[in-house]
Structure 1
Amino acid sequence: MYRRRNLPPGPTPLPVIGNLLQIKRGEMVKSLIQVSFRVVFSNGDRWKQLRRFSLTTLRNFGMGKRSIEERIQEEAQCLVEEIRNYKQKPTDPRNILGQAVSNVICSIVFGNRFEYEDLKFLKLLNLFNETFQLMSSTWGQLQEIIPKIMEYIPGPHQKINPILETMLEFVSKRIKMNQATLDPSSPRDYIDCFITKMQQDNEDPTSEFNIKNLLVTVLNLFFAGTETVSTTLRHGFLILLKYPEIQEKMHKEIDCVIGHNRSPNIEDRSKMPYMEAVIHEIQRFSDVIPINVPHTVIKDTTFRGFTIPKGTDVFPLLCSVLRDPNQFTTPDKFNPGHFLDESGCFKKNDAFMPFSTGKRICLGEGLARMELFLFLTTILQNFTLTSETKFTESDIAPRMTGFANVPINYQMSFIPRVA
């Protein structure tokens, strides 16, 4: 009967556990590519209302505009000064990158940044990172696939929900602070705007603007605006430690276009094809979020001769495009040449879609692209990245184990560059 329904090819699912037996331990992404297995996230009218509001509000607070560029530039300089305090000592860059990137989204969502010495903020970011890693572990994958069953099975995955609750408590306290001092005529941040919208829609039973959705939306913005970009930068640092010759070329381009007497700005990007190519290749190669967000089929659909029934949740796998050998000459190797033409000019590639595509494209794409360029360029303008460890190609390769690709833990030093 399963075959007669003309579904796309794949192993027949079993009752309750579906295709769980086809998911190899620690290899969720690879297994999904092989058997096209599906899981479930939010969609429908709730998604439409909240996304539309979030896009408008984030733009009003400067996302993609000059004002947010200045905010990133300021944070990048704060980051440089903090790095100088390390005095070239080996360090794990995870915390400081997380704090710097998170401060940008915090300025939009909460209306302020946090000092690097703020231990409560650092603890929160460590919880984010722990959640990110747990969700990509074998246990986290199983929880995503069979949550009802995994509720009753002991293991590391049981820490995920308590951690999320701790983070929600932090957001809840911020919301209460905003509620107590709200001036609807002068919103300070995203939370103020959401609370005002809640008050306006108070009598509308179809409105999705309520405290629960505010908590979840703010946490999503905070999480997505912190972990994806900071993880990409960590991948990038690791790659540049492995390939010092690439770092040297980036230094030369920075010296030629920007010099040492001013901060990088977003206009520099069009004059720096090699930097653009390296950043694109870091995103392609590291493939931080290999599994795209879900798309629900709204009607029975025929695709390549097969029937996908209405209501089916479909997960396009971004990794299958970013590593397509028909689009990239060396898909499994780091190669900035994928984004350079014969003349050394930057070359676009339609298969480059780390932010997804279509209606569910990442709403923070413009912000993330700006952050990656300004943070990486500012750091390389001021420092040479070195490490006592000699990294291998295996060390820099993405793990491809689950929801996210997290780089290995590593130590590095920031050596000041002489102007």
Structure 2
Amino acid sequence: MELSTSLILVALTAVLLWLLNLRNNRKHRLPPGPPALPLIGNLLQLDKHAPFRTIVETYGPVMTIYTGWQRTVALVGYDAVKEALVDQADDFVGRAPLPFIHRATRGYGESKLLSNGERWRQLRRFALTTLRDFGMGRKGMEQWIQEESGHLIDHINKFKGKPFDPTFVLSCTVSNVICCLVYGERFDYDDKQFSDLLEMTSAILVYSSAVSSSQLYNLFPWLMERLPGRQHTVFGYIEDVRKFAIKKIQEHKDTLDPNSPRDFIDCFLIRMDQEKNNPTSEFHYENLVATVLNLFLAGTETTSSTIRYALKKMQEEIDTVIGRERCACMEDKKSLPFTDAVIHEVQRFMDLTPFSLPHYSLKDISFRGYTIPKVLYAPTSLE
């Protein structure tokens, strides 16, 4: 009886919000868009793999849609996205809060995907500087990648030429490079705990990027917390990954040498001690746990999926230019135009997160003759 009453209240609230949004449409010259239904908005009209492809021809690259009861301005295509996120970058710098991510990180962490404000500035600056100091994006990281590539080749050779699914081994390879930066160690491909973590990571990312599942949670978090469903399994996975991060952080605390930091966790712990008397500091334990969780989750599945997608297309050129007797190096890049182009094109073409990451406007914005009101969700798509 209590659940039925709650459902009715949620439905009535959603309809009321929908009606308020319709009234607000008259106050702003919003972009055009398809008619929306109460409560579910335009969700039934959106293809989960390419959400805006079916409606962009009718309404153009800048459109208003409703993801549930939330009014959203969607930008589709390179030109519209570049105009907003590059040419008007300051106007669109805000990130929309997502209940799923907030629950996963408990509201802490760098949250570089979704945060605004001082926490975001402090932790993002620290994370980028520290990771670069340990080689991210620089020549120094090449040795780690080459070493891990050797482990990948050794593992592939165990199949002795038989067909196999590269999903798991690619996840291991990418994750180990991240683990070297964050944890200061790599894990064996046959490590049961490591393989379980990667499987849970994959499940978390699949759930969070799926239009139907994650959108329902983000639209109705209070209701989804009380209904049965896969969201509870996924949050259980997140808790297990979190416990692994906590265990590694404790190991670092027990062996920390402030004069010789080994990795990201050591640097964060040292900074925590330096700012322990600063009441406005964002360098505290919960932010460390959540940031490590963010780096591990965000860096593994996205990169390994991109590599797997492009793998077969690049093999012929690599065999021709490099052969199979030595490891690739940065110097080979200029002789591998197809491989270089494929990497960039895969990142452009592959719809890894169909809704992309939502931005929101920090003030009323004039864009292509329309007005986008302050704090309006704005997912982007490069379809």
Aligned in 2, Cα 1:73/1:95: closer, same or farther, shift over 3 Å? same
1:282 aligns with 2:346: yes
How high is the sequence identity, in percent, across the aligned residues? 43
2:43 to 23, 46, 51: 23
Give yes or no for the alignment of 1:8 onto 2:31: yes
The CA deviation at 1:310 is 2.4
1:350 corresponding residue in structure 2:
none
| Distance change (3 Å), C-alpha of 1:4 and 1:175 | same
Q: Does 1:42 align with 2:65?
A: no
* Offset, 1:109: 0.1
Q: CA deviation at 1:213?
A: 1.3
Q: Residue 144 of structure 1 aligns to which amino acid in structure 2?
A: N
Alignment of 1:399-414 (within 5 A): none
Q: How do 1:211-290 residues align onto structure 2 when only pairs under 5 Å count? A: 211-237=285-311, 240=312, 246=313, 250-251=315-316, 253-290=317-354
Residues 3/295 of structure 1: CA separation in 2 closer, same or farther (3 Å cut):
closer
Q: Is the 8 A contact 1:302 1:308 kept in 2?
A: yes
CA contact (8 A) 1:291 1:315 kept: yes
Deviation at 1:2, TM superposition (A): 2.1
Cα distance change of structure 1 residues 163 and 177 upon mapping to structure 2, 3 Å threshold: same
Q: TM-score, normalised by structure 1?
A: 0.68
Q: Tell me which protein shows more helix as a share of its residues.
A: 2
Deviations along 1:24-51, whole A, 9 cap, x unmatched?
Answer: 2883464467544456332222111111
User: Would you say 1:301 and 2:336 are equivalent positions?
Assistant: no
Report if aligned partners of 2:149, 2:173 keep a CA contact under 8 Å in 1.
yes
Aligned to 1:86: 159
SS in 2 for 1:302: strand
Classify 1:72/1:12 alpha carbon distance in 2 versus 1 (closer, same or farther; 3 Å).
Answer: same
CA RMSD of aligned residues (A): 2.3
TM-score by length of 2: 0.74
Aligned to 1:183: 257
The question of whether the paired residues in 1 share the 8 Å contact of 2:35 and 2:42 is answered with: no
Does the CA contact (< 8 Å) of 1:94 and 1:234 recur in 2?
yes
Residue 56 (structure 1) aligns with = 129
CA distance in 2, matches of 1:3, 1:162: 40
1:171 aligns with 2:245: yes
* C-alpha distance in structure 1 between counterparts of 2:49 and 2:181, whole Å: 33
Offset, 1:299: 2.0
**Structure 1 residues 141 and 313, CA gap change in structure 2 (3 angstroms):** closer
How many Å apart are 1:10 and its aligned residue? 3.7
Contact kept in structure 1, 2:182 and 2:292, CA below 8 Å: yes
Deviation digits for residues 159-183 of structure 1 (CA, Å, limit 9, x no counterpart): 1211111111110111111111111
Q: Deviations over 1:347-397 (max 9, x none)?
A: xxxxxxxxxxxxxxxxxxxxxxxxxxxxxxxxxxxxxxxxxxxxxxxxxxx
Contact 1:22 1:31 in 2 (8 A): no
Counterpart secondary structure, 2:366:
strand
- Classify the secondary structure of the residue corresponding to 1:307: strand
Structure 1 stretch displaced more, 276-285 or 43-52: 276-285
Query: What's the counterpart of residue 210 of structure 1?
Result: 284
TM-superposed CA distance for 1:209, in Å, is: 1.4
Distance 1:113 1:103 in 2: 5
Q: How does 1:318-357 map to 2 (within 5 A)?
A: 319-320=382-383
Q: Does 1:313 pair with 2:377?
A: yes
Q: Which of 192, 196, 202 in structure 2 is aligned with 1:129?
A: 202
Aligned residue-pair number: 306
Q: Which runs of 5+ in 2 are unaligned?
A: 1-22, 56-63, 73-95, 98-113
Residue 147 of structure 2: aligned partner: 74
Partner of 1:119: 192
Deviations 1:54-75 (A, max 9, x none): 1100100011122211100110
Q: 1:262 to 1:31 in 2, by over 3 A?
A: closer
* Secondary structure of 2:374's aligned partner: coil
Q: Which of 155, 158, 169 lines up with 2:229 in the alignment?
A: 155
| 8 Å contact kept, 1:105–1:225 | yes
Residue identity in the other structure for 1:134: Y
Q: Verify the 8 A CA contact 1:194 1:214 in the aligned structure 2.
A: yes
Cα distance between partner residues in 2 of 1:44 and 1:290: 26
Q: Secondary structure at the match of 2:380?
A: coil
